[in-house]
Structure 1
Amino acid sequence: MKKANVVVVGGGQMGRALVGGMLASGFAAADQLTIIDPNPECRQWWAQQHPDVATGEQVRDHAAGTDVFLLAVKPYLVPDVAAGIAKTVDRPTLVVSIAAGVPLKTLCDHAGHQRVIRVMPNTPSLVGAGASAFCVAAGVTDEDCQWIRQALAGVGTVAQVAENQMDAVTGLSGSGPAYICLVIEALADGGVLAGLPRPLAMTLAAQTVLGTAKMVMETGRHPGELKDAVASPGGTTIAALKVLEEKGLRAALINAVETSARRSGELG
């Protein structure tokens, strides 16, 4: 399935990220991709940015010869889209959903088969630095798993998990970019309070988060060890860490992930 023909239903931000990753990595060619979106402005964007990628308004007009349907629509639209595909295609074509909170059972029921993959990507996929996880239904083949791994690898890291872990993935990496944006904004505000100009404070804050994440990933050292390496006895960092512990930063982040995961389960 490496040369699969893919119909992407939904041409918004995540659809753009995933297709962009497939094209940039060479995993897929433009003539293998079709974007379906009823919004003419969205189709115009695709025509301008990726003129060699076909676009359309209705799935049924582009279903013939399709190997993969990638559902990149809002969660509430997924059942109708999957059911529409089932009515159009008379074979168990691979269906991949990136809609948050929609369980495999719902996807399979509406698709009419179990060759279904559920994916939780995140917004850093837009810049090729995403963290995605996926789970599979009973009808998914090893070849299907290989395909989705390679497709997602074009926009970042990817891991296969059990479906009962998907809500936790949503709470951590799915919602996590929002937490980190809040941290970056707060760090920059602190820099401004301490006397830095706003643009410089924002640059330093963002680069500090980026560099620290890179250091964790590339060294393989525990974040606690890297933290201790910065916190000299009686120094500035350990004094600041004391404030963060008193204010409950660690507990707040843990609770945020837990709350997001629980909400994901409720929505599902």
Structure 2
Amino acid sequence: MDKIKATVGIVGAGSMGGAIARGLVASGAMDASDVFACDPSADKLAALAELGIGGFASAEKLVDAGTDVVVLAVKPQVLPEVAGGLSDKLVGRLVVSIAAGVTLSTLADYLDGARVIRVMPNLLIQVLSGATAIAPGQAATPADVELVRGLFSALGCAQVMREDQLDAEGAVVSCGPAYLALFVDTLTRAGIRAGLPAQACREMVEMTMLGVGKALLESGEHPRAYMEKVTSPGGTTAAGLLALEPHLLEGSYGAVDAALARTRELAGA
């Protein structure tokens, strides 16, 4: 992988901000000397410092360091305070927000004059298998978008979308790790019910899930084409799929609809 020729400062070293910082270095996309973070927690900064990532006690000091990209990895409820305190320093700068539900229009109000991009990563960036949606603001340039796409592609995959598609992406992809973990759990319980030992069953189901993901990504096959490879006419897999598919499809539609409805409720709160 070619190194990304930029410097990145991350405001907030919590679960997502810390994962972004660690992932950019662990993936080989960036040298640790080009990644910086700030957080009020000395312990979080110390953990990043072990990787060579520079730390700052305050967002103001980090922004003053003049990184090419500033990532606001803070919770939506504290974003107005954080952005308000930095707005004068971020005029003309490329700013990336991961705050769910905070629109580009609102970010532009908070950060007048900044080149703003919204991203929605999921938690699997922690293992470099994340999925991130990117929605650029009007002031962001094509080069800005490509730089941000490169950063988050190093943590998994990244797709550029319209902002109006982000809620659906969140309901599918951001919630997706929990949906898939639930499927692993329910399939494991079905195996235990059929007589398999619990620990062995869970490990085999988890490895199967991992293998299918890798196989689909590496081959580029459509999932249904892959299903045909392991489904013999009139066989056991065909019988299992016939029983499972209607319920799984209905449940998936229902889960995404429920997540979207809750997203809209929270946005209107």
- Name the structure 1 match of 2:15: 13
Cα shift readout 1:135-179 (whole Å, capped 9, x = no counterpart): 000110122112101111111111100001001110111110000
Match for 1:262: what amino acid?
A
- SS of the aligned residue for 2:78 comes to helix
2-structure distance, mates of 1:235, 1:99: 47
- SS of the aligned residue for 2:55 comes to strand
2-structure distance, mates of 1:114, 1:54: 24
Do the aligned residues in 2 keep the contact of 1:100 with 1:264 (CA within 8 Å)? no
- SS of the aligned residue for 2:77 comes to helix
Q: Give the aligned CA root-mean-square deviation in angstroms.
A: 1.9
1-structure distance, mates of 2:157, 2:239: 35
- Name the structure 2 match of 1:104: 104
Instruction: Give the unaligned 5+ runs of structure 1.
Output: none
Do the aligned residues in 2 keep the contact of 1:132 with 1:159 (CA within 8 Å)? yes
2-structure distance, mates of 1:169, 1:121: 10
- What stretches of structure 1 move > 4 A for 4+ residues in a row? none
Cα shift readout 1:166-222 (whole Å, capped 9, x = no counterpart): 011101111100000000111111222222222211111111112222232233332
- Name the structure 2 match of 1:71: 72
- Name the structure 1 match of 2:120: 120
Percent identity among equivalent residues?
A: 38
- Name the structure 2 match of 1:93: 93
Do the aligned residues in 2 keep the contact of 1:69 with 1:95 (CA within 8 Å)? yes
2-structure distance, mates of 1:101, 1:263: 11
Match for 1:33: what amino acid?
V
Give TM-score scaled by structure 1 length.
0.90
Count of aligned positions: 263
Higher RCO (Cα < 8 Å, 6 or more apart): 1
Deviation of 1:114 after TM superposition, in Å, equals: 4.8
Deviation of 1:225 after TM superposition, in Å, equals: 2.8
- Name the structure 2 match of 1:258: 257
Cα shift readout 1:29-81 (whole Å, capped 9, x = no counterpart): 2222221111233223223x32x222122111232223221011112112221
1-structure distance, mates of 2:222, 2:33: 44
Give TM-score scaled by structure 2 length.
0.90
Instruction: Give the unaligned 5+ runs of structure 2.
Output: none
Distance 1:25 1:245, change over 3 A: closer
Deviation of 1:90 after TM superposition, in Å, equals: 5.8
- Mapping for residues 176-187 of structure 1, pairs under 5 Å: 176-187=176-187
Match for 1:210: what amino acid?
L
Match for 2:252: what amino acid?
L
Deviation of 1:134 after TM superposition, in Å, equals: 0.3
Cα shift readout 1:11-42 (whole Å, capped 9, x = no counterpart): 11222222222213443322222211112332
- Name the structure 1 match of 2:155: 155
1-structure distance, mates of 2:120, 2:90: 27
